[in-house]
Structure 1
Amino acid sequence: MRLFRLTTATLFRRKSWVVCAFCVGVLPFLLVQISSGTENPALLKPALAQATWAMTLLTSIFWGFYTAARQGESNARSGLGEYFLTTGVSAGRQLFEMWLAIFTYLAPLPLISAAICTLAASPALPDERSMWLATNIQYAILFLVVMAPLVALACAVASRLGSITGFMASSALAIYGLYGVGYLKLLGDLEGNALAKWVWTSSPHYHFADPTERLRYKLGAIAWDKFPLLLAYFGGIMLVYVALSRLVFRARAAA
């Protein structure tokens, strides 16, 4: 695990993870104070929950994918990947160790968000509080399942096409899955476009992993008997992206 330790130490010395921790752990409280939530106490806790998860998503996309892309490109172009190949560390193992190092910093973010929403934004009624806790736990799990393969994809694409392309590939998929598919469905329904409906059906529906609406309107947790199906859906997407990442990733720059 030498590459894992090297990547982990490199990210720690850059200290950009401090900004991520601030954006998720502190910034939502500041954003709520300058929002309309202070004018209506009933809106304060939903606003805090929304801001917390929004910061988690944005931080993961902009920091997580950028960092993964940067590491993937650096590993290939600096000669580090070729060095590890000569020591017996395969390309697949290199991709895994870099992914694991980046995800070590990324994984705590949804846990921090769930903790903030549970401790600082829970409803007063006991029944609603238990449902609120279950909702946050579910979405912390979904967040990890969704982001994990996108980090690997950013790293893999960047190793072959550069860090900008790697970052844009994963970011575009995440943003499209969170927000773009909704507009595509609306377009397909309005115009009766069969092609748009087919694209919508085959798209990654990451909006199912966004808890904003459920927390804002207290819609409750996903039924536990249906939650494994959602995990299986995102698990299938993960397998596709992991296979694609392994095919695309290279440990040495092209001659």
Structure 2
Amino acid sequence: MRLFRLTLTTILLRKAWVICALCVLVIPFVLPWISSASEKPVLIQPARIQAAWSTLWIVTMLWGYFTAAKQGETNATSGTGEYFLTTGLGATRQLSEIWLAVFIFILPMALATAAITQFAASPSDPAERTMWWTLNTQYLVLFLLVTAPLLCLAAALASRFGSVAGYVTTLALTLYGLYGVGYLDNLLKLEQNPILQGIWLFSPHYHFADLTQRLYFKSGALPTTAFWKMTVYFLGILALWSGISRLAFRTKLSS
């Protein structure tokens, strides 16, 4: 785990993660009170839910993907990857350790977000509070299933095409899966198009993993069958991105 420790130390020393952690911990409590929600106390908890999960998504997309891409590029261009190859650390292991070093920062932030919505924005009704545990757990699992392989993809693409390409590609995929697919679906409802229908069908439907509105409106936990279907679906995407990441990843500059 030498590359993991090196990458982890590098990220720690840059200290940008401190700002991200503070955003995740502070914004959900501060933002509702400086917004219009403060005029109606009943809106404070829904606003806190919105702020908490939105902050986590933004931090992951802006800092998480960028950090993964930067580390992937540095490993290939600085000679670090080539050095570890000579010590017997293969490309797959190197990619895994770079990914883990970044993911280990995202995981606590995700857990903190789930804890904030669980303990600082839970319903007062006992029946709804029981459901809250299930819904928060479902959201946490789906969020990690979506973002974990994208962190790996960012590092892999950056090692081959540069950090900008790796970051922008993963950011675009996430935004498209969260929002663009919905716009495409609305377009198809107005006018059927076989080509667009095919694009929509094979698109990553990340919006399924965004359960913020279910928390906001207290819609209840996902049915068990639906949750497991979504889990299997995102595991399939995880396998696809993992395969592409391994093919794209390189440990040194091309000769």
Q: TM-score range by the shorter chain?
A: over 0.9
Q: Partner residue of 2:232?
A: 232
Structure 1 counterpart of 2:205: 205
Does structure 2 retain, via aligned residues, the 8 Å contact 1:37–1:43? yes
Which 10-residue stretch deviates more, 43-52 or 220-229? 220-229
Instruction: Show the counterpart of 1:3.
Output: 3
Instruction: Report the 3-state secondary structure (helix = DSSP H, G, I; strand = E; otherwise coil) of the residue aligned with 1:250.
Output: coil
Instruction: Measure the CA separation in 1 of the matches of 2:174 and 2:45.
Output: 26
Letter in 1 for 2:78: S
- TM-score, normalised via structure 1 length: 0.98
Mean Cα deviation higher: 47-56 or 185-194? 185-194
Q: Which residue in 2 is equivalent to 1:84?
A: 84
Specify the code of the residue in structure 2 equivalent to 1:181. V
Matched, 1:190 2:190: yes
Distance 1:219 1:201 in 2: 26
Q: How many correspondences in the alignment?
A: 255
Distance 1:105 1:33 in 2: 28
Q: Which runs of 4+ in 1 moved over 3 A?
A: none
Match runs of 1:152-231 below 5 Å: 152-231=152-231
Per-residue Cα deviation, 1:87-106 (whole angstroms, up to 9, x for no partner)? 11111110000001110111
Q: C-alpha separation between the residues in 2 aligned to 1:216 and 1:196?
A: 32
Structure 2 residues without counterparts, runs of 5 or longer: none
Name the CA distance, whole Å, in 2 between partners of 1:109 and 1:174. Answer: 18
Amino acid in the other structure paired with 2:234: F
Q: List runs of 5+ in structure 1 lacking aligned partners.
A: none
Does residue 1:17 correspond to 2:14, yes or no?
A: no
Deviation at 1:25, TM superposition (A): 0.6
Paired amino acid for 2:29: F
1:128-163 deviation line (CA, Å, top 9, x unaligned): 111122111111111111111000000000000000
Q: Structure 1 vs Structure 2: percent identity of aligned residues? A: 52
Scaled by the length of structure 2, what TM-score is found? 0.98
1:194 is displaced (CA, Å) by 2.1
CA shift for structure 1 position 20:
1.2
Q: Verify the 8 A CA contact 1:3 1:94 in the aligned structure 2.
A: yes
Q: Which residue identity lines up with residue 83 of structure 2 in the other structure? A: Y
Stretch of structure 1 that moved more, 3-12 or 224-233: 224-233
How many Å separate the matches in 2 of 1:227 and 1:190? 29
Shift of 1:9: 1.1
Q: Which amino acid aligns with 1:208?
A: F
User: For the Cα contact (< 8 Å) 1:53–1:211, is it kept in 2?
Assistant: no
Q: CA deviation at 1:226?
A: 2.4
